[in-house]
Amino acid sequence: MSWYNPMSWSDKAVDNVLDKDDGLLANVGSWIGGQQYTDEEIAEANTELRKGVVAYAISSMGENSERSKARREIAKQWIKVQLWLVLMCAIAAPFNMELAEFYYKLSTASVMLAGTAAIITFFFGSYMLTRHNETKK
């Protein structure tokens, strides 16, 4: 019988470790959960935690704003392409109907419409949710 192999433990050893009331795991868990801190120790731990959270927020602030700028720029470019395709369809229609149909199919492709809908929802969804929640109250 080896101590590191639970399959070789006797029933008594299993009960000593896994018993939900008096087992070794229950005792260790209650010891960890039952640790008592003084008010001073709690305040000190909270102070350290606040410092860490503030430091993380400051260090990642530039990264988050850069990511937001990139997302906004990609969204603006997507909308510009969508509008450009619609405009090209209107411009080409009097001269070459086949080319206008090609631009129309591009501008109404499911990928283009889904991307545009996602961008519109992303940018204006929070406004719609706010208005919706205000009307509920």
Q: How far apart, in whole angstroms, are the C-alpha atoms of residue 12 and residue 2? A: 15
- Span 5-17, pLDDT tens digits: 656 555 555 555 5
Helix, strand and coil content of the chain, in percent to the nearest 5, comes to 80, 0, 20
Inside any domain, residue 72: yes
Inside any domain, residue 26: no
The angle formed by the CA atoms of residues 130, 133 and 137, to the nearest 5 degrees, is 135
Inside any domain, residue 10: no
Inside any domain, residue 11: no
The count of structural domains within the chain is 1
Q: How far apart, in whole angstroms, are the C-alpha atoms of residue 39 and residue 45? A: 10
Q: How far apart, in whole angstroms, are the C-alpha atoms of residue 84 and residue 90? A: 10
Inside any domain, residue 32: no
- For the ranges 13-17, 29-33, 47-51, 54-58, the maximum mean pLDDT occurs at 47-51
Which residue in this structure is represented by tokens 């990264």? Answer: 63
Inside any domain, residue 98: yes
Which residue in this structure is represented by tokens 């640790």? Answer: 35
Q: Which domain holds residue 70?
A: 66-136
Q: Which of 80, 98, 79, 76 is nearest to 89 (CA)?
A: 98
Inside any domain, residue 28: no
Look up the pTM and report it. Answer: 0.48
How high is the pLDDT of residue 17? 58
77 pLDDT above the threshold of 60 = yes
Q: How far apart, in whole angstroms, are the C-alpha atoms of residue 40 and residue 58? A: 27
How high is the pLDDT of residue 101? 92
